[in-house]
Amino acid sequence: MSNLPFPRIAVIGAGQMGAGIAQVCATAGCHVTVRDVDAEQAAKGKRAIEASTAKLVEKGKLTAGDRDAALARISFTDALGAAAQADLVIEAIVEDLEAKRALWRELDELAPPSSVFATNTSSLKVSDQAEVTDRPDRFLGLHFFNPVPLMGLVEVVSTAATDPGIVASATNFVRTLGKEPVLARDTAGFIVNVLLIPYLLDAIRLLERGGGTIADIDAAMKLGAGYPMGPFTLLDTVGLDTVLRTTRALFAEFGEPRLQAPAMLERLVVAGRLGRKSGKGFYDWTVVPPVAVEREK
């Protein structure tokens, strides 16, 4: 415990990413406070952590004792002040710049000056958040990937103002989570999403043009290109709302036509078909195995 760079972690937001981040931090030995104002979301996050750790025990990747110890290190709160008392605060709320800036302003008042702030943004510039705090030197991006307990990468994003010592501690911290850090520049989308999002959008446009069915495009990329999941399974895993917000942020930054959101993506999000987390997206996840919804209506 004592050799952890950040022994006390606060995770703000108990959604898919927040729950996953809390889980991997607690499994590594950190004490984690998860803050969510929505009690239902907090309960959902707690259940996701329990289900994920149960699966890892079942697969022999975690002992039952280590699982119990990790779960005992996680607590939930709706009070930001309680969460702010941490060595590292990781933000995983909605991908909305103004919401994130408002959160950081509040946290900057509540947290001790020593606390380090990290955003898990997928697409927004870290500096646009850091600038509203009095600690831009202790502010960076830590971008995790979905599903967090299984994915081996974290993008570590520093701004021109981030203290190199903080970057070193954060990089070390990522390794203690059993993940590989890569250093990325503070440009929208960092490394992975700049490459991944256009590919996912192209898959949707291919479907819109009738270039293949959901099931066939997924099978094609899995078996023909060696991807671990096809693009539509991945879209549903990441969450279509998250993909749409990320797409809009990338379009705002780079303005390339290829980064414009396809109409089908917009329609599915408006219809509440967000993917795995809502039960339906390109696939119907309420049945086993999930079935591709080849017609929208």
Concerning whether 98 is annotated as a catalytic residue, the answer is: no
* Least distance CB 143 / ligand 3HC (angstroms): 6
Residue whose token pair is 């705090």: 133
CB 157 within 8 A of CB 185: yes
For residue 72, the tally of other CB atoms under 10 A from its CB is 10
Phi-psi region of 185 (alpha: psi -120 to 50; beta: other; left: phi over 0): beta
Active site residue: 122, 158, 169, 278, which one? 122
Which is nearer to ligand 3HC, 147 or 212 (by Cβ)? 147
Write down the least CB distance from residue 239 to ligand 3HC, Å: 8
Which C-beta is closer to ligand 3HC: that of 82 or that of 150?
A: 150
Question: Do the beta carbons of residue 49 and residue 71 sit within 8 Å?
Answer: yes
> Shortest Cβ distance from residue 157 to ligand 3HC (Å)?
12
Which of these is catalytic: 115, 155, 158, 278? 155
| Per-residue tokens: 28 | 């590594």
Name the residue among 121, 143, 24, 133 with its Cα closest to residue 73.
Answer: 24
CB of 287 to ligand 3HC, least distance (A): 15
| Residue among 191 and 264 whose Cβ is closer to ligand 3HC | 191
Q: Out of 52, 158, 193, 278, which one is annotated catalytic?
A: 193
- Distance between CA 96 and CA 106 in Å, rounded? 16
Q: Tell me whether residue 31 is one of the annotated catalytic residues.
A: no
Counts for the chain of helices (H) and strands (E), in that order: 12, 10
Residues that bind ligand 3HC (CB under 6 A): 52, 55-56, 122, 145-147, 149-151, 193, 196, 228-229, 234, 238, 242, 246
| Closest residue to bound ligand 3HC by CB | 122
Cβ count near 225 (within 10 Å): 8
Closest approach of ligand 3HC to the CB of residue 52, in Å:
3
Nearer to ligand 3HC, 19 or 42 (CB): 19
Given 52, 120, 123, 143, the catalytic residue: 143
Question: At 223, phi and psi to the nearest 5?
Answer: -90, -25
User: Which residues have C-beta within 8 Å of that of residue 103, sequence separation ≥ 6?
Assistant: 12, 91, 93
Catalytic center residues: 122, 143, 155, 193
